[in-house]
Amino acid sequence: MELTSIKLVTIFLLIFSCCIHLSLASGLHFLIPHNEARAKVGVQPLTWNKTLAAYARGYALQRLGDCNLEHSKGPFGENLAEGYGYQFSAVDAVNLWVGEKQHYDYESNSCVGGACLHYTQVVWRDSIHLGCARVRCHNDWRFVICSYDPPGNYLGQRPY
Ligand SMILES: *[C@@H]1O[C@H](CO)[C@@H](O)[C@H](O)[C@H]1NC(C)=O
């Protein structure tokens, strides 16, 4: 009887530690490329935030059925991306956003020749907290969302 409960506790602890580790590890896949892009323009790193990660996951789960690139209209800054199949990774999503850097013109503080507002959110100086999620939609696309607080992209302000 006692042995069984010790085993159960051990199994529970193993499962628990595995999943905390996994959630931190998957967070790093989002966090590291964000902070690389920020360092390149001299902006302080973001920190991983469980509240935002839970928010992002909650919203991503609502999109499982259609996988539409629709914003959550929540209180946070938000970047969305999607790609087909399991190959579309967290890093791929962040790379899509950071790839818009070529369209951001610092002088005029505007996008030139393409979209750039995902990039400006990634490097927004006043954003501190980051939480993201990646889910598999029913059509086998991967839906990716990152939430930022405080939000970026205020009109008339520069990201850095
Ligand atoms: C996580 O982010 C929320 C929303 O910005 C904030 O209220 C909270 O203090 C953050 N948690 C930590 C541990 O920084």
Tens-place pLDDT, residues 35-81:
999 999 999 999 999 999 999 999 999 999 999 999 999 999 999 99
Cβ(49) to ligand 1 under 6 A? yes
> Ligand 1 atom closest to Cα of 50?
1
Backbone angles phi, psi at 99, to 5 degrees: -65, -15
Ligand 1, residues 124, 128, 129: which to mutate, most atoms within 8 A of Cβ?
A: 129
- Phi, psi (5° rounding) for residue 26? -70, -30
Q: What is this structure's pTM? A: 0.86
Q: Taking a C-beta distance cutoff of 8 angstroms, is the pair 109, 119 a contact?
A: no
Pocket lining: 53 vs ligand 1, CB cutoff 6 Å: no
Walk along the chain (160 residues) in steps of 10 and give the mean pLDDT of each run: 55 55 76 98 98 98 98 98 97 98 98 98 98 97 98 97
Residue of the nearest CA to atom 14 in ligand 1? 49
